[in-house]
Amino acid sequence: GYVLEIGDSFTGINAVDSLVAGELKIASSYDPYVRQSYVYLKGEWASLSIGQRFMATEGITSMSAAKTGSAGRLLTVSPLAGIDLSGLNLPLIPNHVIVEPFNGRRFDSNSVRIDLNPVNGFIASAAWSDEAWDLSLRYANADLAGFKVAGGIGYEKSDVDPFINLIPVDLERIMGSASVMHNASGLFVTGAYGRLDFQSGTTDAYHIQAGIERKFTDWGPTTLYGEFAEWSDLNLDWYGLGINQNIAESVDLYAQGRKYDFGGTDATTVLGGVRVKF
């Protein structure tokens, strides 16, 4: 088979427009772009894909037993208008870019990926491209002694920075998440952790979500949750509240509010929307 995925959002830094009065002007693009384009072959034991696609650790820090993923992924910093991100030592990052260094990536170059077929709920994956190679192991079980369980762990070795995929750097990443929900009550807790090892040092962060998912109406399950995350090396932490209303399995209405503290500078973000699955 063949997969083609088209997106229309911020695609990264394209070029330096000008240097005016000592201020660096960055040209960014919101034009449609190819997000994924790859061929695949499925067999009895595994599937093989070749082309432009996500690496094996994609989404490894956002595995959740609850429906919390519509508003945003764990260990992901929402766009922070007005917050100076120069503390990342990557001053070219515009303030409206989502910062997601603790998650698997998609490179513009082609990659080769293999995913073993599920065995007792476990899926092992590996991918290789010119910029990186990675490994992941995932587990999911909807009914394990009365609990719904999901989790995974991944490792990546790369020579490109994890922020905008532009700056050469010797990088190792360890990432993972785990989530458990009590099926009878709907109570759940989810945790994620990521660690980056550069040649110049190490940085890590964690993120915790907890809440309840119950069918309070005939529409579908309602998910209510609170969260807290900390990126101690950057003196960055945030907490928030969120809600997701699922309707007939195919539609999610969601809203999320977060309060950020970045080295003494505060920012509040509110996000809401609808996701329709075709």
Contact predicate 244/223, CB 8 Å: yes
pTM of the prediction? 0.83
Classify 122 as helix, strand or coil: strand
Length of the chain: 278
pLDDT 10s digits, 174-203: 999 999 999 999 999 999 999 999 877 888
Question: Looking at residue 221, what is its pLDDT?
Answer: 94
Mean predicted lDDT score pLDDT of the chain: 84
Question: Looking at residue 79, what is its pLDDT?
Answer: 57
Ramachandran class of 216: left when φ > 0, alpha when ψ lies in -120 to 50, beta otherwise: alpha
pLDDT 10s digits, 86-109: 454 443 444 445 667 888 888 778
Question: Looking at residue 97, what is its pLDDT?
Answer: 52
Contacts (Cβ under 8 Å, ≥6 apart) of 192: 61, 62, 74, 75, 102, 175, 176, 177, 206, 207, 208
Q: Structure tokens of 198?
A: 């550069």
Residue ranges in the chain modelled with pLDDT below 70: 8-31, 78-99, 163-166
Question: Looking at residue 77, what is its pLDDT?
Answer: 74
Print burial letters for 120-151: b (CB count within 10 Å at least 16), e (below 16).
eeebbbbbebebbbbbbbbbbeeeeeeebbbb
Query: Closest Cα to residue 104, out of 140, 179, 68, 157?
Result: 157
Read off the amino acid at residue 277. Answer: K
Q: Alpha carbon of 271 to those of 28, 80, 258: distances in Å?
A: 22, 12, 9
Question: Looking at residue 166, what is its pLDDT?
Answer: 64
Question: Looking at residue 19, what is its pLDDT?
Answer: 40
d(CA 81, CA 86): 13
